[in-house]
Amino acid sequence: MPAAIETEGLSKDFLVGFWRPRPYRALDALTLSVEPGEVFGFLGPNGAGKSTTLKLLMQLIYPTSGAARILGKPVGDVGVRQRISFLAENPYFYDYLTAEEVLAYFAKLFDYSGADVTARVARVLDEVGIGAERRMRLRGYSKGMLQRVGLAQALINDPEVVFLDEPMSGLDPIGRRQVRDLILRLKQRGCTVFFSSHILSDAEALCSRVAIMAQGRLVASGALHEMVAFELKGWDLVAANVSEALRATLEGQVRSITAIADGQYMIDVPAEVAPERILIDLARGGARVISLHPVRDTLEDFFIRQVNSAAPRETGIS
Amino acid sequence: MRAIRLVAGAVFRESVRDRVPYSMVIFAILLMAASYLISQLTAGQDMKIVKDLGLAALSIFGLLIAVFLGIGLVSKEVERKSIFGLLTKPVSRTQFIIGKYTGLVATLIINLGVMTVAYYAVLAYMQYVSAPTVRASWPAPAMDPRLLIAVVLIVAELALVTAIALFFSTFSSPLLATLLTLGLWLAGHFNTDLRNFGAVVDSAPIVAIARGLYYLLPNLAPFDVKAEVVHGLPVSARHVLLTLLYAVIYSGALLTAAIAIFRRRDFK
């Protein structure tokens, strides 16, 4: 079975400057593979090359070098477009058409007709939570509502691969939750989801694998649990009724003891100290344990390390 | 073919809901109605003035619709990035351009059709209120069907202008595309002067350049048969057919060039 998405040495230069245009490398030799059925997070700060990659995969722009394939076929193959869908960042549609009309138009482009079109349009609009507004012209839609229409059009053809560029952009917390649920539902249906984001919590909640981009280059990729060494960095322990004598006993074993609200203390236990020992001491000293949490490296820590260590971007072609 | 039809249908549906063409059609109809009042100020020339002004209104407001819709529908899609939604569906860039053009021309035909009905309504009213002696002095009847020849050629000219607008909008900003299209429309009406440049200029290279431009720029003068039809003069079928053929060939060449550019273009 071919990979759902494959890129090999994919690069893109844009010419910048009016009088003496110089090439600006927006994407540098991206090699990537996404397996069928995966939810793949394409992460990176603004300007890292995420949208450029998505536009190359959608053939909205052409590569300077390298190649990309979707479902085993070269990008731009009209037959492949029948099986995929794309949501652009901040999507925009036609002012004077209603959501129903836009979606019916797109459904017909996928060769659906008659009652099938009506049924599909109603289903996807329900799925993204657009109610009576579906008969309103898009001119009157808010940014969040347009984002929902964008998501609906990305579902109209029951795609095998969905490309989402910043799908949570412009959505309120309820909308974000709905999109997360939607991505999970797509995964359950066996659909491959490739989404770009700079919001790491979304990736942590949804992705089986991620790639991190910085300065137009791929700086890390792999399974979340492989990339982020879930190495224990310590324990956060919250306890109440911690007497002065008890605090003195613990001070040699823990990194810090900080008073927080309501007579409670946050105790920072290093990884090399067994938390059980501290719990025993606390119990003997008459303290009450409120909570105990392991502290591990987060995706955010990893992301910031990778992005900060990325070499500066090339501004010209060698 | 289905994709082209669907794109054209969406363009048509969007355009007929846009306020710009509506206001253009309303302005044109108001101008036609006003021409009746103006004609009252002139003795004996009233019918010619109404016919002339009516056709001029049809031509000018049609031109504005062709330019603004022609440029807006492609460059606006690119600027607002709504094109991303469409080009990632099973629609090729060629189908996109042909669909857009077809939809625009269909919109233009409907708008000009409405204006023509209003035009004939004004002429019918003129005929109704004029005395038989006045009617007898007219060089051609009020409801002269030959006026439709002028209307058909106006539609053909505007279809060509739409192709020019579409061509420029595939690679330039909306403002620049508007200026270039209007500039070319203007140049097209004075194109014949370029052919006769040799009569007033001695320099051979300049005459050669003028001759080259004559063949390159659209020649829009043959589309204007207003004077002939208003004065009841004949317009040969050969002239009409050759002019229509010219419109088809020139528009086809422009669309081919527009497609070639559009197919290579990056949509950032």
| Over residues A145-160, mean pLDDT | 90
Statement: residue B249 has pLDDT above 90: yes
| Over residues B88-115, mean pLDDT | 91
Is the confidence metric ipTM above 0.85 for this complex?
A: no
| Over residues B44-56, mean pLDDT | 80
Determine the 3-state secondary structure of B224 from DSSP.
Answer: coil
Residue range(s) occupied by CATH 3.40.50.300 in chain A: 5-83+159-227
Statement: residue B42 has pLDDT above 70: no
Residue B89 is nearest to which of A88, A101, A109, comparing CB atoms? A109
List A237's β-bridge partners, or say none: A267, A292
DSSP string covering A200-218: HHHHHHH-SEEEEEETTEE
CB contact set of B132 (below 8 Å; sequence gap of 6+): none
DSSP string covering chain A: ---SEEEEEEEEEEEE-SSS-EEEEEEEEEEEEE-TT-EEEEE--TTSSHHHHHHHHTTSS--SEEEEEETTEETT-HHHHTTEEEE-SS----TTSBHHHHHHHHHHHTT--THHHHHHHHHHHHHTT--GGGGSBGGG--HHHHHHHHHHHHHTT--SEEEEESTTTT--HHHHHHHHHHHHHHHHTT-EEEEEES-HHHHHHH-SEEEEEETTEEEEEEEHHHHS---EEEEEEEEES--HHHHHHHTTTSSEEEE-STTEEEEEEETTS-HHHHHHHHHHTT-EEEEEEEEE--HHHHHHHHHHHSPPPP-S--
- A148 inside 8 A of chain B by CB: no
Question: Are B90 and A85 inside 8 Å of each other by CB?
Answer: no
Residues of B in contact with A150 (CB under 8 A): 85
Residue A288 CA, distance from chain mean position = 40
Residue A153 is nearest to which of B13, B81, B85, comparing CB atoms? B85
Statement: residue B160 has pLDDT above 90: yes
Question: Are A94 and B10 inside 8 Å of each other by CB?
Answer: yes
Give the CA distances from residue B149 to residues A260, B64, B243, in Å, rounded to whole numbers and listed in that order.
89, 21, 11
Residues of A in contact with B13 (CB under 8 A): 96-97, 101
Summarize pLDDT for B175-184 with one digit per residue, the tens: 898 999 999 9
Please tell me the least confidently modeled range out of A224-233, A234-243, B49-58, B198-207. A224-233
Residues of A in contact with B92 (CB under 8 A): 78
- Its pTM stands at 0.81
Question: Are A91 and B84 inside 8 Å of each other by CB?
Answer: yes
Residue A62 CA, distance from chain mean position = 24
Percent of chain A clearing pLDDT 90 (strictly above): 40
Q: Which chain A residues in 97-136 lie under 8 Å from chain B, judged by CB atoms? A: 97, 101, 105-106, 108-111
List A41's β-bridge partners, or say none: A195, A210
Of the residues A18, A92, A156, the best mutation for testing chain B's interface (the one with the most B CB atoms within 10 Å of its CB) is A92
Interatomic CA distance for residues A125 and A123, integer angstroms? 6
Interatomic CA distance for residues B124 and B47, integer angstroms? 11
Determine the 3-state secondary structure of B236 from DSSP.
Answer: coil
Statement: residue A72 has pLDDT above 80: yes
- A180 inside 8 A of chain B by CB: no
CB neighbours of residue B16 within 10 Å:
14
Determine the 3-state secondary structure of B172 from DSSP.
Answer: coil
CB contact set of B64 (below 8 Å; sequence gap of 6+): B24
B160: tokens are 């060509």
Q: What is the pLDDT of residue A265?
A: 92
Please tell me the least confidently modeled range out of A120-129, A146-155, A192-201. A192-201
Of the residues A27, A94, A136, A165, the best mutation for testing chain B's interface (the one with the most B CB atoms within 10 Å of its CB) is A94
The C-alpha angle B75, B79, B85, rounded to 5 degrees, equals: 95
| Over residues B100-113, mean pLDDT | 91
The mean pLDDT of chain A is: 87
How far B268 CA lies from chain A's nearest CA (Å)?
Answer: 7
Statement: residue B39 has pLDDT above 70: no
Interatomic CA distance for residues A221 and A287, integer angstroms? 45
Summarize pLDDT for A291-315 with one digit per residue, the tens: 998 887 777 777 777 777 776 765 5
Summarize pLDDT for A25-45 with one digit per residue, the tens: 999 999 999 999 999 999 888
Q: Which fold does the domain A5-83+159-227 belong to in CATH?
A: Rossmann fold (3.40.50)
Hunting for tokens 């450029």 — which residue is that? A52
Give the CA distances from residue A46 to residues A18, A188, A214, B101, B251, in Å, rounded to whole numbers and listed in that order.
24, 30, 9, 37, 43
How far A19 CA lies from chain B's nearest CA (Å)?
Answer: 17
Residue A85 CA, distance from chain mean position = 17
Statement: residue A125 has pLDDT above 70: yes
How far A84 CA lies from chain B's nearest CA (Å)?
Answer: 8
Statement: residue A76 has pLDDT above 80: no
Residue B266 is nearest to which of A61, A86, A95, comparing CB atoms? A61
Q: What is the pLDDT of residue A318?
A: 42
Residue range(s) occupied by CATH 3.30.70.100 in chain A: 232-296
Interatomic CA distance for residues A103 and A133, integer angstroms? 13
Question: Are A109 and B10 inside 8 Å of each other by CB?
Answer: no
Residue B10 is nearest to which of A61, A85, A105, comparing CB atoms? A105
How far A49 CA lies from chain B's nearest CA (Å)?
Answer: 12
Q: What is the pLDDT of residue A44?
A: 85
A102: tokens are 């836009």
Supply the DSSP symbol for B140: S
Percent of chain B clearing pLDDT 90 (strictly above): 31
List A7's β-bridge partners, or say none: A32, A68
| Over residues B114-136, mean pLDDT | 82
Statement: residue B45 has pLDDT above 70: no
Residue A96 is nearest to which of B14, B89, B267, comparing CB atoms? B14
DSSP string covering B38-93: HHTTSSS-HHHHHHHHHHHHHHHHHHHHHHHHHHHHHHHHHHHTTHHHHHTSS--H
Interatomic CA distance for residues B109 and B8, integer angstroms? 13
Of the residues A105, A141, A162, A169, the best mutation for testing chain B's interface (the one with the most B CB atoms within 10 Å of its CB) is A105
Check whether domain A232-296 has CATH 1.10.10.10, yes or no:
no
